[in-house]
Structure formats: C-alpha cells, structure tokens
Amino acid sequence: MSVIIKKLMTISFYISAGWLVDGSGESARQNALLSVRNGIIVSIKEPESTDLNSADIIDLSYYTLLPGLVDAHVHLFMSGTSNPEVRQQQLETPFENIKKVISRHIHQQLAHGVVAVRDGGDYAGHALRYKTECLPSEKLPICLRSAGKAWRASGRYGRLIGRPPSGGNSLAQAIAHGQESLDHVKIVNSGLNSLTKFGKKTLPQFNADQLRAAVRTAGNHGLRVMVHANGELPVKLAIEAGCHSIEHGFFMGKDNLRRMADRQVMWVPTAYTMKAYHESLDTISVEGEVALRNLEHQMNQISLAMQYGVPIAIGTDCGSLGVHHGSAFKEELRLLIQAGMTLEKGIQCATQNSAKTLDVADNFGRLGTGMPATFVAARGDPSGLPDTLNAPVKIFIRGEAWKPDAMCLPMPLSPEWTGYFSEE
C-alpha cells in the first residue's frame, strides 16, 4: 500500500516541549519552544507569553522530545522470533515474500521512534533490493542504509549474512567489483560468541594486509566499512586496517578499547543480544549461563570504553534470537545506562553517534537550529526514559507528524491535530 506524504513546504509553526534532550549529550532542558519552518528548526528558546498565545502552536508540554532514533546494526530480513520454523522460512523465502517481512520490520522500527537504520547484510541482499525496488513506492519515512551482502572468508562464519570472494578474487578485488549500489561495506572477521564455553575466541577471517586493502578499496568508492569482530586479534586487525566501526567487539580487551579511543573508531556493542539469548534459552542451561556471563563481560567493557573515551553507537542486531525490531532499541539503551552512562549520553549514542555511523548526521541525530525537525515525542519527563519508548510513540519527520500505527499512515501537521498529542 502506497503512503502519500503531504508536503508542508510553506508551513511555519511552533512546538512547545515540556522537556528536550537534543542528542548532544548535554543535560535535558525544560520548557523549550521550537520554531519550525518548511520542516527545519529555525530556533529553540524558552517560551515567552507572546509565543504561547500563537494559534500555530503544537502543545507537547507533557512530552520529552529527543532526536529520531538511529539503529546502527539491524538485519531486516530476519525476525527476532524464537520459533525455529519461522526463522528457517525466513532464511529460505524468496524476495517476493521476504519483502513483506522487511516492510513489517520497518513499521515496527518506526513505531518505536527509529527513523534510520543500518542493515548489516543478508545472504541474498534482500534488504538492499527492498531499498531499491520497494521503499520508494511505499514512501515510508525511514532512512535505510544497506550493506547488501556481507563479506566473509570461505568456510567461515557468516553464511546467513554474506558470501566469500569468488573467482580467485581477493577481498579487495571482490569489493571493487561488487558495489551493487551499496551504502557501506560489511566484513566479517571472526566467528560468533560461544554459548557453551565462556570467553572462547575464534581466529581472524582475514589477515592484516587483506583488511587494509579492503578498507582502502572501499574508501576509494566512498564507502565506510563496518567489521563484525569478537576477540582481541580480530578486533585489533580491523582497527589497524582503518575500519570505521567495530560491530559486537565481545572480549576485545583493554588494549583494543584504547586503540579505538585513540583513533575514534565507533563501537557498536550489541550487548542486548546476550540478554535476549539468556531470556530466550533455558536460563539454567549451559547456554543460558554463558550468555549471561557474556553480557556481564560486555557491560564491563562498555564501562571501560566510557572511561577511555571510545565513541559508542547503538545497534541492536535485531533479527537475532529474541532481539525484536523496534522494541530492542530501548533495551540496548537501558544497558548503556546500567553500565554507567547518563541518560543524555545514552541518547547521544542512540542518535548523534549512530547518525555519524550511518554518515547521515546532516539530517538525523540532533535537535538544533538548522536541523530537520525529525524527532520522537515520549510521554512524560525524561525520568521515564527509556521505558516511555514503547510503541506507538509520536514521531515527526521533517516537520511532518506521523502516526506509527500498523501502516504508519501520515498525519498532516496543523494545530487541528492537537487532540493527537493530548493526554491519554
């Protein structure tokens, strides 16, 4: 079903916010008045009595405004269901069927306030094809960045999300010949975390020379590189090769955290995956216990990363077992806060940092003068976050109010819609 967005190119109005978290990491401010013109924030200031008498004001005085959320690591082709039959079907379903699954996942993301996602790849490149063929016609208000198919070494982990170089090509040669309208490159350089032996590590999939050449080639094509890597050596090689982000990074150790801080390499910890595994599996089983220990170790690494100054972006790895699209986001944010972040710093990871990771920071991730009026309105004051990011939240996309229901139908923004923002 196509969704027609009414363009509001000449509308100017005010939004009265009870609280505002702008994505910069600074403390939340109370009673902010946003002036919006043609979908862009013209000013943010304290409201004056003359402003509040305006007929063109949208009253969000019972809400906290924060930038639209950005998930830096998703797999849109896969659901977080624990039903093995459904999961297997999604691994074998042709594009004509899987596109419906992807569309549903995007609706779920929007319903939780996620307005931009970075897809980490799937075995058939379904998410990239969906972006090219379906997203324009559906006109969903989400920014989708896709790696298409990830790259892995032959015979190593990653069959579900990618493929190895073929035809005798090196990794760099394969990247050079396999652009396919990619937004970024995904490289798998380790295996998964073991759920039977705590701390077990796998060898790197590619050596230092291969990774350096791959990152250089991607850069020549204007593409950033995200690297799946767990363990000390796989992570070290990826950092030294010049990758732009480390995905997961379990058991990478203090030295790698310091390297990432020195080079300002973005880290996407995906900590909630281990919590979801623990909750989805028999918690008294070996797998459930190891998943919980993996989570505790990752939380310690996040605390160290904060001390060292490692930039962190939120990515959920949704599509993994128990990690559901949209709803997992607030759980990942919750874990960052439990690791010692302030709410505002956690929101910065969820918005500004993640937007930088997607290379879309000009349009997403921050609420400030000159930025698009793209934000989430969460019920109540900031103390309720992240719990108040339950679906459906209220979202604005470039000054357009959207009701993220089953079909995410748009709502023309005007003062007449104040009932939509009233107390439930």
CATH number attached to the domain at 69-358: 3.20.20.140
Dig out the tokens for 164 from the structure. Answer: 């190895």
How many percent of the chain have pLDDT more than 70? 91
Cα separation values, 285 from 194, 196, 279, 282, 288, Å: 14, 9, 11, 5, 5
Residue 40 pLDDT exceeds 70: yes
Q: What torsion, rounded to 10 degrees, do the Cα atoms 176, 181, 183, 189 define?
A: -40
Q: What torsion, rounded to 10 degrees, do the Cα atoms 173, 177, 181, 187 define?
A: -30
What integer is the mean pLDDT of 66-76? Answer: 98
Q: CA angle at residue 48 from 347 to 374, to 5 degrees?
A: 30
Give the model's pLDDT for residue 280.
83
Q: What is the C-alpha to C-alpha distance for residues 32 and 65, in angstroms, rounded to an integer?
A: 9
Residue 374 pLDDT exceeds 80: yes
Q: What is the C-alpha to C-alpha distance for residues 293 and 230, in angstroms, rounded to an integer?
A: 15
Task: Give strand pairing partners of 379.
Answer: 63
For all residues of the chain together, what is the average pLDDT? Answer: 90
Which helix (H) or strand (E) is 197 found in, with range? none
Which helix (H) or strand (E) is 257 found in, with range? helix 253-263
Give the model's pLDDT for residue 64.
97
Could you report the per-residue pLDDT of 350-368, keeping only the tens digit for each?
999 999 999 999 999 999 9
Q: Are strands 245-248 and 184-188 parallel, antiparallel or unpaired?
A: unpaired
Fold match, 12-68+366-421 / 69-358: no
Domain ranges of the chain: 12-68+366-421, 69-358
Give the model's pLDDT for residue 51.
56
Which helix (H) or strand (E) is 260 found in, with range? helix 253-263
Could you report the per-residue pLDDT of 301-343, keeping only the tens digit for each?
999 999 999 999 999 999 999 999 999 999 999 999 999 999 9
Task: Give strand pairing partners of 114.
Answer: 69
- Name which of 321, 349, 325, 324 is nearest 335 in CA terms: 349
- Name which of 20, 34, 142 is nearest 410 in CA terms: 142
Rg (CA), the chain: 21
> What is the architecture, at CATH level 2, of domain 12-68+366-421?
Roll (2.30)
Residues whose CB is less than 8 angstroms from the CB of residue 245 and which lie 6 or more positions away in sequence, other chains included: 72, 224, 225, 226, 227, 265, 266, 267, 268, 313, 357
Residue 392 pLDDT exceeds 90: no
